[in-house]
Copies of this chain bind each other. A is one copy, B any other.
Amino acid sequence: MKSEIIAVGSEMLTPWRQDTNSLYLTEKLNEIGVTVTFKTIVGDRRKDLVSAIRIALGRTDILAITGGLGPTEDDLTREAVAEALSLTLRREATLVAALHARSALLRVPMPTNNLKQADVLEGATVLPNPNGSAPGQWLDTRFAGYRKLILLVPGPPSECQPLFDAECLPRLRAAIPKRAIAKRTLRAAMIPESQADKFLAPIYTAYKDVETTILAHAGDIQLTLLCSKPSATVAQQRVDELAGRMEEALEDWVYSSGGESAESLEQIVLFYLGLRDATLAVAESCTGGMIAERITSVSGSSRSFLGGAVVYSDALKYAFAGVSPELIAQHGAVSAEVAKALAHGIRLRTGATLGLGITGIAGPTGATEDKPVGLVHIAVSDAQKNEATERTFRGDRTRVREFATQQALDLIRRRLM
């Protein structure tokens, strides 16, 4: 079945704000076998909204409309759907009472205008929104002779996503032809996208019944496999078989091949650290805290991650990791020797099992004749050895730092494997 998404809100027609709900809704819709064929972003103008709704209903089975359900004059989704389908709106007493109760609880006065959130489309089911004041609505109706499922969901992602999961997905599953969907995600680090595709294309093109998507960002590749079949067992078999062949082709570039959603590289690093009962500390120069930030973004990381130092100045390289000014003078701050001394020093200072040292030129300034922007030295030190890796990454400051961080995490993973 086909679906469309209309995102309502003038702020999404400015240079600064994207519609992001549609990515989430698309993922969920795909997982139940529904494709998304159009996305429309429309401002808070009733005429435009009515027109967009009519156009979408003329070509799709399922229409999800996000946003425009709030209490202000600009929130016009209910009115626009009513107009587009010639339906009436009734003000529902229980919703009015709930709005009054809510404003009493929050001890804020309620302008009369707020009550429009209690307006329900003729024939619609009210979808409770535990995270906000505006409920969603579900309408199973007909337009120009065909059955249409219309979903009105709130715009704020913190309200939209839980409401869609709890209220819309079960109703959609019940309403659409039953097929089983199997999903599998593989993630690989530091293999160039073109090389991955060269390895993988001959494999996945032979599985026409599995939809393969490749997404690459800053040294990270995510492969998503989706298969829809009448039989859940067959769908899972096809997905697992293809995932197995892909994993074989990509060898140890693959770091995660879990189930429906694969772990991130920092989660995998923390998993291996836990498994080995090991701890990690980092001494970062060019990445300026990005490695620590990624690791500590994982809840529970404090069990294996001790911390580290951001050693931007040479004095701090000495103070926090014991890297001597003489070594820096001899080899330069951006050198394999300094990376190794950082890794070794931070390990000794913190008592961690593993130490990571990184130094490089993130750019755009700082390059010298023999050391270009993007040059990075990364060392991983443990009780057995201390090895440095040299890489040169192209691109702007952000890109160099992101690639260097990804490479560093991948080197830790490989040391722990």
B-binding residues in A (CB < 8 A): 11-18, 20, 23-24, 26-27, 30, 35-43, 45, 48, 51-52, 55, 59, 213, 215, 222, 224, 281-282, 284, 287-293, 295-297, 299-302, 305-313, 315-316, 319-320, 349-351, 362-365, 397-398, 401
Contacts and interface: CB of A to CB of B under 8 A. Distances in A.
Given A16-B23, A16-B213, A307 B309 contact: yes
A15 B42 contact: no
A363 B299 contact: yes
Contact of A364 (B30, B224, B296, B299): B299
B299 A288 contact: no
Contact of A38 (B52, B320, B365): B52
Given A315-B350, A350-B319, A14 B309 contact: no
A38 B51 CA distance: 11
Nearest to A312: B307
Nearest to A43: B37
A392 B188 CA distance: 38
A215 B59 contact: no
A21 to B, nearest CB: 11
Chain B CB within 10 Å, residue with most, of A40, A51, A312: A312
A289 B196 CA distance: 32
B48 A42 contact: no
A213 B14 contact: yes
A302 B316 CA distance: 12
A290 B350 CA distance: 20
Nearest to A300: B365
Nearest to A23: B15
A316 B307 contact: yes
A36 B13 contact: yes
Interface of A is mostly: mixed
A15 B11 contact: no
Contact of A24 (B15, B24, B37, B59): B15
B299 A289 contact: no
Contacts of A30: 14-15
Chain B CB within 10 Å, residue with most, of A224, A293, A319: A293
A45 B222 CA distance: 24
A42 B51 contact: no
Given A16-B224, A281-B316, 5 more contacts: A38-B40, A289-B290, A299-B364, A306-B315, A308-B309
Contacts of A291: 289
A11 B401 CA distance: 26
A254 to B, nearest CB: 18
A270 to B, nearest CB: 12
Given A315-B350, A316-B350, A307 B310 contact: yes
A35 B48 CA distance: 14
A296 B16 CA distance: 24
A363 B298 CA distance: 10
A309 B320 contact: yes
18 contacts: A11-B213, A13-B37, A14-B213, A15-B24, A16-B224, A37-B42, A37-B43, A37-B48, A40-B40, A281-B316, A288-B301, A293-B293, A296-B312, A299-B397, A305-B312, A307-B316, A309-B310, A313-B350
B37 A15 contact: no
B306 A316 contact: yes
Given A18-B23, A23-B16, A293-B288, A309 B309 contact: yes
Contacts of A284: 289
A315 B351 contact: yes
Given A291-B289, A306-B315, A307-B311, A13 B26 contact: yes
Across chains A and B, which 4 residue pairs bring their CB atoms closest together, nearest first?
A288-B296, A289-B292, A289-B289, A15-B27
Given A43-B37, A55-B55, A16 B222 contact: yes
